[in-house]
Structure 1
Amino acid sequence: MITGAHTILYAEDAEAARAFFRDVLGLAYVDANDGWLIFKSPPAELAVHPSDVPDSGKAELYLMCDDLEATVDELRSKGVEFTSEVINAGWGLLTMLKVPGAGQIGLYQPRHATAYDLP
Protein backbone atom coordinates (compact mmCIF):
# COMPACT_ATOMS: atom_id res chain seq x y z
CA MET A 1 0.00 0.00 0.00
CA ILE A 2 1.23 3.50 -0.78
CA THR A 3 2.17 5.35 2.41
CA GLY A 4 3.19 8.78 1.11
CA ALA A 5 4.65 10.86 -1.68
CA HIS A 6 8.18 12.25 -1.93
CA THR A 7 8.50 15.49 -3.88
CA ILE A 8 11.89 16.54 -5.25
CA LEU A 9 12.77 20.14 -6.05
CA TYR A 10 16.03 20.44 -7.97
CA ALA A 11 18.08 23.48 -6.99
CA GLU A 12 21.22 25.15 -8.27
CA ASP A 13 21.84 26.20 -4.64
CA ALA A 14 20.37 23.44 -2.48
CA GLU A 15 21.56 25.04 0.77
CA ALA A 16 19.71 28.29 0.01
CA ALA A 17 16.56 26.41 -0.99
CA ARG A 18 16.72 24.24 2.14
CA ALA A 19 17.18 27.34 4.31
CA PHE A 20 14.09 28.89 2.69
CA PHE A 21 11.87 25.90 3.47
CA ARG A 22 13.36 25.53 6.97
CA ASP A 23 13.70 29.15 8.12
CA VAL A 24 11.17 31.12 6.09
CA LEU A 25 8.34 28.65 5.57
CA GLY A 26 9.07 26.88 8.87
CA LEU A 27 8.53 23.36 7.55
CA ALA A 28 9.45 20.57 9.97
CA TYR A 29 12.27 18.36 8.74
CA VAL A 30 14.61 15.49 9.47
CA ASP A 31 18.30 15.43 8.68
CA ALA A 32 18.67 12.27 6.62
CA ASN A 33 22.47 12.52 6.54
CA ASP A 34 24.99 15.35 6.99
CA GLY A 35 22.60 18.24 6.30
CA TRP A 36 20.48 16.46 3.69
CA LEU A 37 17.16 17.81 4.94
CA ILE A 38 13.86 16.13 4.12
CA PHE A 39 10.86 18.34 4.86
CA LYS A 40 7.43 17.40 6.05
CA SER A 41 5.04 18.55 3.34
CA PRO A 42 1.73 20.14 4.10
CA PRO A 43 -1.26 17.92 3.33
CA ALA A 44 -1.12 17.22 -0.40
CA GLU A 45 -3.18 16.23 -3.38
CA LEU A 46 -2.33 15.17 -6.93
CA ALA A 47 -3.96 16.48 -10.10
CA VAL A 48 -3.39 15.00 -13.55
CA HIS A 49 -3.70 17.55 -16.35
CA PRO A 50 -3.78 16.81 -20.07
CA SER A 51 -0.58 17.73 -21.87
CA ASP A 52 1.19 17.70 -25.18
CA VAL A 53 3.73 14.89 -25.51
CA PRO A 54 6.81 17.12 -24.77
CA ASP A 55 5.34 18.06 -21.35
CA SER A 56 4.17 14.56 -20.45
CA GLY A 57 5.48 13.56 -17.04
CA LYS A 58 6.35 17.15 -16.06
CA ALA A 59 5.55 18.05 -12.45
CA GLU A 60 5.03 21.43 -10.76
CA LEU A 61 4.81 22.45 -7.11
CA TYR A 62 2.03 24.70 -5.85
CA LEU A 63 1.59 25.43 -2.15
CA MET A 64 -1.99 26.06 -1.03
CA CYS A 65 -3.37 28.45 1.59
CA ASP A 66 -6.73 29.55 2.98
CA ASP A 67 -6.13 33.30 2.63
CA LEU A 68 -3.75 34.29 -0.16
CA GLU A 69 -3.65 37.99 0.71
CA ALA A 70 -2.71 37.32 4.35
CA THR A 71 -0.18 34.64 3.37
CA VAL A 72 1.49 36.92 0.81
CA ASP A 73 1.71 39.70 3.43
CA GLU A 74 3.23 37.31 5.98
CA LEU A 75 5.77 35.91 3.52
CA ARG A 76 6.72 39.39 2.24
CA SER A 77 7.44 40.41 5.84
CA LYS A 78 9.91 37.50 5.93
CA GLY A 79 11.63 38.70 2.76
CA VAL A 80 10.00 36.38 0.23
CA GLU A 81 10.16 37.68 -3.34
CA PHE A 82 7.05 37.24 -5.45
CA THR A 83 7.57 36.91 -9.19
CA SER A 84 4.00 37.64 -10.26
CA GLU A 85 0.99 39.60 -9.17
CA VAL A 86 -2.00 37.78 -7.71
CA ILE A 87 -4.37 36.75 -10.46
CA ASN A 88 -7.83 35.25 -10.40
CA ALA A 89 -7.39 32.04 -12.37
CA GLY A 90 -11.02 31.02 -11.94
CA TRP A 91 -10.12 27.86 -10.02
CA GLY A 92 -8.32 30.01 -7.43
CA LEU A 93 -6.25 33.07 -6.64
CA LEU A 94 -2.67 32.48 -7.79
CA THR A 95 0.78 33.99 -7.46
CA MET A 96 4.33 32.74 -7.93
CA LEU A 97 7.19 33.10 -5.47
CA LYS A 98 10.94 32.73 -5.71
CA VAL A 99 12.69 29.91 -3.87
CA PRO A 100 16.30 31.04 -3.38
CA GLY A 101 18.56 28.82 -5.44
CA ALA A 102 15.67 26.85 -6.95
CA GLY A 103 13.53 28.97 -9.27
CA GLN A 104 9.89 29.61 -8.53
CA ILE A 105 6.84 27.76 -7.24
CA GLY A 106 3.17 28.59 -7.14
CA LEU A 107 1.11 29.69 -4.16
CA TYR A 108 -2.66 29.70 -4.41
CA GLN A 109 -5.96 29.90 -2.58
CA PRO A 110 -8.15 27.22 -4.15
CA ARG A 111 -11.72 27.88 -5.20
CA HIS A 112 -12.18 24.26 -6.28
CA ALA A 113 -13.04 21.22 -4.22
CA THR A 114 -9.91 19.93 -2.48
CA ALA A 115 -8.83 16.37 -1.80
CA TYR A 116 -6.01 16.85 0.72
CA ASP A 117 -8.23 16.30 3.76
CA LEU A 118 -10.15 13.24 2.53
CA PRO A 119 -10.04 10.22 4.85
Structure 2
Amino acid sequence: MTAPEQYASVRYLVDDVQRAIDFYTTQLGFTVNTSAAPAFADIVRGPLRLLLSGPASSGARATPDDASTAGRNRIHLIVEDLDAEITRLRDQGVSFRSDLVSGPGGRQILLTDPAGNLIELFQPAQH
Protein backbone atom coordinates (compact mmCIF):
# COMPACT_ATOMS: atom_id res chain seq x y z
CA MET A 1 0.00 0.00 0.00
CA THR A 2 1.20 3.51 -0.80
CA ALA A 3 2.18 5.69 2.18
CA PRO A 4 -0.13 8.72 2.58
CA GLU A 5 2.63 11.23 1.83
CA GLN A 6 3.32 9.46 -1.48
CA TYR A 7 -0.21 9.84 -2.87
CA ALA A 8 -1.03 12.26 -5.65
CA SER A 9 -4.41 13.66 -4.57
CA VAL A 10 -7.13 15.00 -6.84
CA ARG A 11 -10.47 16.41 -5.65
CA TYR A 12 -13.59 15.83 -7.74
CA LEU A 13 -16.84 17.55 -6.85
CA VAL A 14 -19.73 15.12 -7.15
CA ASP A 15 -23.46 15.45 -6.58
CA ASP A 16 -23.84 11.99 -4.97
CA VAL A 17 -20.86 10.62 -3.01
CA GLN A 18 -22.18 7.07 -2.64
CA ARG A 19 -22.97 6.83 -6.35
CA ALA A 20 -19.43 8.03 -7.13
CA ILE A 21 -17.93 5.50 -4.70
CA ASP A 22 -19.92 2.71 -6.34
CA PHE A 23 -18.79 3.80 -9.82
CA TYR A 24 -15.09 4.12 -9.04
CA THR A 25 -14.84 0.93 -6.96
CA THR A 26 -16.99 -1.23 -9.24
CA GLN A 27 -15.88 0.05 -12.64
CA LEU A 28 -12.32 1.32 -12.17
CA GLY A 29 -10.74 -0.70 -9.37
CA PHE A 30 -10.49 1.95 -6.64
CA THR A 31 -10.76 1.02 -2.96
CA VAL A 32 -12.32 3.06 -0.18
CA ASN A 33 -9.78 4.57 2.21
CA THR A 34 -12.34 6.52 4.28
CA SER A 35 -15.95 7.48 3.77
CA ALA A 36 -18.14 10.08 5.39
CA ALA A 37 -20.88 9.73 2.78
CA PRO A 38 -22.98 11.59 1.87
CA ALA A 39 -20.50 14.46 2.36
CA PHE A 40 -17.11 13.03 1.43
CA ALA A 41 -15.06 9.96 0.52
CA ASP A 42 -11.37 9.27 0.07
CA ILE A 43 -10.68 6.47 -2.43
CA VAL A 44 -7.39 5.16 -3.80
CA ARG A 45 -5.96 3.34 -6.76
CA GLY A 46 -2.20 2.83 -6.59
CA PRO A 47 -0.62 6.22 -5.82
CA LEU A 48 -3.77 8.16 -6.79
CA ARG A 49 -5.92 9.43 -3.94
CA LEU A 50 -9.25 10.67 -5.27
CA LEU A 51 -11.21 12.90 -2.92
CA LEU A 52 -14.93 12.79 -3.69
CA SER A 53 -16.61 15.88 -2.28
CA GLY A 54 -20.39 16.09 -2.14
CA PRO A 55 -22.39 19.33 -1.84
CA ALA A 56 -22.15 19.33 1.98
CA SER A 57 -18.36 18.91 2.08
CA SER A 58 -16.02 21.74 2.99
CA GLY A 59 -14.20 21.24 -0.33
CA ALA A 60 -17.37 21.87 -2.32
CA ARG A 61 -18.44 24.81 -0.16
CA ALA A 62 -15.06 26.49 -0.72
CA THR A 63 -15.52 26.46 -4.50
CA PRO A 64 -16.58 29.77 -6.09
CA ASP A 65 -19.96 29.63 -7.85
CA ASP A 66 -18.41 30.38 -11.25
CA ALA A 67 -16.02 27.40 -10.95
CA SER A 68 -18.47 24.66 -10.03
CA THR A 69 -18.82 22.89 -13.37
CA ALA A 70 -16.67 20.03 -14.57
CA GLY A 71 -13.91 21.14 -16.91
CA ARG A 72 -11.53 19.56 -19.36
CA ASN A 73 -9.14 18.40 -16.64
CA ARG A 74 -9.22 14.70 -15.99
CA ILE A 75 -7.58 11.87 -14.14
CA HIS A 76 -5.43 9.64 -16.30
CA LEU A 77 -5.54 5.89 -15.62
CA ILE A 78 -3.10 3.56 -17.37
CA VAL A 79 -4.53 0.21 -18.46
CA GLU A 80 -2.82 -2.85 -19.94
CA ASP A 81 -5.50 -3.73 -22.50
CA LEU A 82 -7.63 -0.77 -23.57
CA ASP A 83 -9.84 -2.80 -25.90
CA ALA A 84 -10.72 -5.22 -23.09
CA GLU A 85 -11.46 -2.33 -20.71
CA ILE A 86 -13.72 -0.65 -23.27
CA THR A 87 -15.63 -3.89 -23.82
CA ARG A 88 -15.93 -4.57 -20.08
CA LEU A 89 -17.18 -1.07 -19.32
CA ARG A 90 -19.64 -1.01 -22.25
CA ASP A 91 -21.00 -4.37 -21.06
CA GLN A 92 -21.61 -2.68 -17.66
CA GLY A 93 -23.56 0.14 -19.35
CA VAL A 94 -20.83 2.79 -19.17
CA SER A 95 -20.88 5.21 -22.09
CA PHE A 96 -17.87 7.06 -23.45
CA ARG A 97 -17.37 10.77 -24.14
CA SER A 98 -14.90 10.29 -26.99
CA ASP A 99 -13.96 7.86 -29.68
CA LEU A 100 -10.81 5.81 -29.30
CA VAL A 101 -7.84 8.03 -30.20
CA SER A 102 -4.43 6.69 -31.23
CA GLY A 103 -1.19 8.62 -31.30
CA PRO A 104 2.56 8.07 -31.11
CA GLY A 105 2.45 7.68 -27.30
CA GLY A 106 -0.45 5.27 -27.15
CA ARG A 107 -4.23 5.02 -27.30
CA GLN A 108 -6.89 6.65 -25.14
CA ILE A 109 -10.61 7.06 -24.62
CA LEU A 110 -12.60 9.37 -22.35
CA LEU A 111 -15.52 8.54 -20.08
CA THR A 112 -17.20 10.39 -17.23
CA ASP A 113 -18.14 9.55 -13.69
CA PRO A 114 -21.79 9.96 -12.64
CA ALA A 115 -21.19 13.68 -11.87
CA GLY A 116 -19.67 14.40 -15.30
CA ASN A 117 -15.97 14.48 -14.29
CA LEU A 118 -13.68 13.26 -17.06
CA ILE A 119 -11.57 10.10 -16.83
CA GLU A 120 -9.00 9.11 -19.43
CA LEU A 121 -8.14 5.44 -19.91
CA PHE A 122 -4.73 5.21 -21.57
CA GLN A 123 -2.73 2.31 -22.99
CA PRO A 124 0.90 3.25 -23.70
CA ALA A 125 2.36 2.34 -27.09
CA GLN A 126 4.59 -0.71 -27.17
CA HIS A 127 8.18 0.25 -27.97
User: Per the shorter chain, which TM-score range?
Assistant: 0.5 to 0.7
In the alignment, structure 1 residue 16 sits paired with structure 2 residue 19: yes
1:43 & 1:30 partners in 2: Cα distance? 12
Aligned length: 99
1:70 & 1:110 partners in 2: Cα distance? 14
Letter in 2 for 1:87: V
Aligned residue for 2:21, secondary structure, equals helix
Letter in 1 for 2:20: A
Indicate the structure with greater strand content.
2
Q: Paired residue for 2:43? A: 39
1:28 & 1:107 partners in 2: Cα distance? 18
TM-score (norm 2): 0.63
1:11 & 1:17 partners in 2: Cα distance? 7
Deviation for aligned residue 1:79:
1.4
Unaligned runs of 5+ in 1: 45-57, 114-119
Percent identical residues: 24
Of structures 1 and 2, the one scoring higher in RCO (CA 8 A, sep 6+) is 1
Indicate the structure with greater helix content.
2
Structure 1 residues 23 and 30: alpha-carbon distance in aligned structure 2, compared to 1, 3 A threshold: same
TM-score (norm 1): 0.67
2:126 & 2:13 partners in 1: Cα distance? 29
